[in-house]
Structure 1
Amino acid sequence: MSFVDLVTSRHSAVNFIKEEKMTEEDFKQIFELTRLTPSAYNLQFTSYLVITDEEKKERVKELSYNQYKIHTASAVIIVMGNKNSIELSEAEKIYGPMKMLKMIDELDYEMTMEAIKTYSEGLKGDLNNLELELARNTGLHAMLFMLSAKHFGFDTCPMHVHNVEELRNEFNIPNHLVPVMMITIGKSVDKERPRGYRKPVGEFVNFNGYK
């Protein structure tokens, strides 16, 4: 499938084939592509909670205003931003091996770590900006996840995440992980569902400023 075909064939599924099961291998191949997503300073902010167990999936449905697509989906996925990603100890796990393998030299390593330290302190001093950074990075990750899923023949639907504290308690989600959105995944019942209206390019793109 070409990239054009991939993008044009992906749409948000509103109902899934209930009997369709997904294996850990299915998810592994999707995530192997998804992990290539860019992130600020390559700090890789995004974590996923994949829920395939039927009883647990039904509990998510209850906490999500009983949206039927969760019931029929093969899985529901909680996409989370990891606040610990901005810690220098986490950055060292990423950049330390790069230095050891001489992918970067000592000077580049020290300059990068200093830049990350400044970046981290700035985010810790402005929690609104930290939330925005988590949303920005997880959004990129989630979009590539959905495209990767489509590449392997699975349909998806991005969703709001509701009742976050109840969800956190239900699944023992640690405090440093912030649920940002959910994605239902499986195989859509309706393969011919028309796409909703999209604005023409000229309505949302400007070049070199606004008049």
Structure 2
Amino acid sequence: MDIFQAIEQRRAVKHYQANTKMPEADYQALMSAVLLSPTSYNIQHWRFVRVTEVEQRENLKAAAWGQAQVSEAAELFVLCADVDAWNDRPERYVANSPKETQDMLLPMMYGFYNKKEQIQRDEAMRSCGIAAQTMMLAAKGLGYDSCPMVGFDREKVAELIQLPKGHVIAMMIAIGHAEKAAYPRAGQLPLSDVLVENHF
């Protein structure tokens, strides 16, 4: 599918064909695409919890106030971020770079994030947002629908997935084949309402 078609056709689908599975080849293609998502300093903050157990799906559905897509979709991911990834063996993120590049980037990375908790969290969440969009567009390109979700009890979901210390939950993403089409777009703002040049 053309990338512009995928962007146009991607919608937040709420109801999926239940009891369907994503073939392994599609799953591998999806995740291979997601891992190419860009991150600042190549830190790759994202951590994906793929939820495959029926009981865990039902528990998460209850934490999401009964939203059907949590249990119906072929795939469900809880997209998280390691806020402390910037300081966790950072040499990994530049391992394939020339030594002079490593010697430049590692001190820069430390200086940019050290003792700046808001920047650490903001960057981790930005990385998740980019990865989420990559995931949803890749899914659409493979013929699947998706739904990004923030409507859930975060503390309960964190408990259910045993979220490690120093991590945050960005969203859940359901992926599968639509049982019912999404509602028509509710109202897109015109470009003139959202774009300014040079300053507000």
Q: 2:187: which partner in 1?
A: 197
Q: Is the 8 A contact 2:113 2:120 kept in 1?
A: no
Unaligned runs of 5+ in 1: none
Unaligned runs of 5+ in 2: none
Offset at 1:132? 1.5
Is 1:109 matched with 2:102?
Answer: yes
Over the matched positions of the two proteins, sequence identity in percent amounts to 22
Q: Give the ranges of 4+ consecutive aligned residues of structure 1 lying more than 4 Å apart after TM superposition.
A: none
Return the alpha-carbon distance in structure 1 between the equivalents of residues 124 and 144 of structure 2. 26
Return the alpha-carbon distance in structure 2 between the equivalents of residues 46 and 186 of structure 1. 21
* TM-score w.r.t. length of structure 2: 0.92
Q: 1:9: which partner in 2?
A: 9
Is 1:183 matched with 2:182?
Answer: no
Q: Is the 8 A contact 1:81 1:135 kept in 2?
A: yes
Once the two structures are superposed, the pairs formed by residues 1-211 of structure 1 within 5 Å of their partners are 1-87=1-87, 89=89, 91-96=90-95, 98-99=96-97, 104=98, 106-121=99-114, 125-160=115-150, 162-191=152-181, 193-210=183-200
* TM-score w.r.t. length of structure 1: 0.87
Offset at 1:88? 5.4
Q: Is the 8 A contact 1:76 1:185 kept in 2?
A: yes
Return the alpha-carbon distance in structure 2 between the equivalents of residues 204 and 116 of structure 1. 32
Offset at 1:84? 3.1
43 and 192 in structure 1: CA distance in 2 versus 1, 3 angstrom threshold: closer
Q: What SS does the corresponding residue of 1:189 show, helix, strand or coil?
A: strand
Offset at 1:196? 2.4
Spell out, residue by residue over 1:63-103, the C-alpha distance to the aligned partner (whole angstroms, 9 max, x if none).
Answer: 111112212212221001112320151x211213x14xxxx
The amino acid of 1:80's aligned partner reads C
Count of aligned residue pairs for this structure pair: 200
Q: What SS does the corresponding residue of 2:76 show, helix, strand or coil?
A: strand
Q: Is the 8 A contact 2:41 2:93 kept in 1?
A: no
Q: Is the 8 A contact 2:79 2:171 kept in 1?
A: yes
Larger radius of gyration: 1
The amino acid of 1:129's aligned partner reads I
Q: Is the 8 A contact 1:43 1:86 kept in 2?
A: yes
RMSD between superposed Cα atoms in Å: 1.8
Q: What SS does the corresponding residue of 1:185 show, helix, strand or coil?
A: strand
Spell out, residue by residue over 1:25-79, the C-alpha distance to the aligned partner (whole angstroms, 9 max, x if none).
Answer: 3222101111111110111111100112222111100111111221221222100
